Amino acid sequence: MSRWSRLPEEMRLQVLETLAQDPRHNVVDSTYGLTNYALVCRAWQKIFEKANFRRLVLSQVDLDALDKIPKRCKPYVRHICLRIEINEYRTWGNSEQVIRPERMEDIAANNDIIELAVGNLFRVLKSWEKELQKVRPSYQGMALEMSIHSPSDPKYVSRGVTATGLEKGLSWTHEVGLEGAISKIFGGSVHIRFYQNLPQLNLVTRFIMKRHTRRRVSSFTLHQILSKFPHLEDLIFEPWQQSLDTVQDLVDAGYVNLIKGSLPKGLKHVTLLEDRQNGQAGLLTAIDPAQSASARTANPFVGAALAKRSVDFESLSASFLVEANDFFRAYKREWTWKALRSLTLTSMYLDSKRSSEEINGMLKAAGDAALAMPMLQNLEIWNGGPGHAAIFEYHGQRGEAYIAWHSTWNLTIDSHAVKAWEAVAYKNHGCRLDVHDEHALIGSGDEFRHYQDVIRRLRTRRNVISRESLGELRLELEDGCMCFP
């Protein structure tokens, strides 16, 4: 210890901070617990408590303990992940091999659990606000992440992997799922009217709901939550496509209302990604073919609503939930996206079966709208799946601008589309537009098994899907498993 004390203070601080960032500390049940380091002495306490409390992963039973965190540690909390556990599955009658379908009373009981958990979390965090203002007036806010799952999910589906298993390395115990398990995982709606009004939380600046929450959360429920975050700046929402068109129509109508009336005014960064139930490389269809869902035609009203609402955003990525052509066709000349720097959208027009006139018409509409985006640096329109991929890219920065086409088939960008983007380059960046070789193929298609293979080629990929979700998706495709919170 004497040698340690002889080191310059700056060096000691650097060593401790490096130790605090050791990735082994993130592993559940790790023997390298940060709490042990924090107990060594007062000089170490602040550094390791800061790392230890930065991200808290809780279930509803942990919320009482959250309320008892020492005051000195609360400013260190920058991310709270609430994993809400609903009821376990019931089997059908005397059979232990068939899961009983979810009944109305089951949905109501689960919604009661969710309502209580969310209400308790809001109550605790509201009590933090005054304390944080006194302890650290410059506190910059926290990320709030929510997920919903049943402890039965990984038990009864083939090769189910929980977050705990992912943190330790892949771990599953069941190779064959029980009949009806997939319907439970994707079934049941979360539709809650919070009878005890949720308090407003000024400290939440980021809200996250990832794709491993597979139950359908209604827009009304989301409205009640999002409307309580007046200082929200970032939103990540990764819902699932519905297998029934009638249900999807209701969900889309809810999205329109949510976009128009529930997103806080100060929102700057939005990531929306709609996943499909055939995403696990055939895993779901092998268990329950009725649960398969192919790519759908996006609701044009959702695209139009998002186009209008996004004029105040700094970045937007909306994949599969909206159609790029709907977004750009909704543009009105009086609109100006004053702060938008990054825009990423998907389009079913980017398909080798579409005519070049249709594709170029959409690209021209994109260029016309981009004239009203004076700060735009990156725009990508993409599509992809098994055996095919396409990306249209615009990049402009520091007096340079170019457009590029990358796909598994040839396309000639016509003069009308090129002229539209030439006008964008001249107006926004004061330069000529370079048109990169649109005949440079990105492969024959064999290397594209899934849309995630296209995401990895995007310049804006960090905006398209959360890093954790992309990692889980990769595991599901490569190992045939399903990841859960």
Assess whether pLDDT exceeds 50 at residue 27.
Answer: no
**Mean pLDDT comparison of 31-40, 81-90, 125-134, highest-scoring range:** 81-90
pLDDT at 173: 58
Where do the H-state alpha helices sit in 351-398?
356-370
What pLDDT is attached to residue 199?
A: 95
Q: What is the pLDDT of residue 37?
A: 52
Share of residues in the chain with pLDDT > 90 (%) = 59
pLDDT digits (tens, 9 = 90+) for 162-187: 877 776 666 665 555 677 788 888 87
Q: Helix 42-52 and helix 9-20: axis angle, to 10°? A: 30
Q: In this predicted model, which residue has the larger pLDDT, 186 or 147?
A: 147
Please give the span between the terminal C-alpha atoms of the chain, in angstroms, as a whole number.
Answer: 42
pLDDT for 248: 94
- Per-residue pLDDT, averaged over 9-32, amounts to 53
In contact, 327 and 303? CB cutoff 8 Å: yes
Strands 400-407, 388-397: parallel, antiparallel or unpaired by DSSP? antiparallel
Q: Which of 247, 285, 217, 209 is nearest to 482 (CA)?
A: 285
Pairwise CA distance, residues 167 & 307, whole Å: 38
Tens of pLDDT, residue by residue over 403-459, are 999 999 989 999 999 999 999 999 999 999 999 876 667 877 778 888 999 999 999
pLDDT at position 383 over 70: yes
Per-residue CA distances from 108 to 61, 192, 223, 291, 297 (Å): 20, 9, 19, 23, 32
The residue with greater pLDDT, 363 or 132, is: 363
Is 60 exceeded by the pLDDT of residue 74? yes
Question: How large is the average pLDDT for residues 465-484?
Answer: 89
**What is the average pLDDT value for the chain, to the nearest integer?**
85
Q: Which of 91-105, 216-230, 326-340, 352-366 has the lowest mean pLDDT?
A: 91-105
What is the DSSP secondary-structure string of 129-149?
HHHHHHH-TT---EEEEEEEE
Give me the count of residues in the chain: 485
How many secondary structure helices (H) and strands (E) does the chain include? Answer: 19, 16
The percent of residues in the chain predicted with pLDDT above 70, rounded, is: 82
* Interacting residues of 474 by C-beta distance below 8 A, sequence separation 6+: 452
The pLDDT, as a whole number, for residue 68 is: 86
Residue for token pair 């919903």:
148
284 vs 62 pLDDT, higher one: 62
| Weakest mean pLDDT among 99-108, 117-126, 387-396 | 99-108
The residue with greater pLDDT, 317 or 281, is 317
Q: What is the pLDDT of residue 73?
A: 83
All domains of the chain in start order, with CATH: 2-52 (no CATH), 54-296 (3.80.10), 313-465 (no CATH)
pTM: 0.88
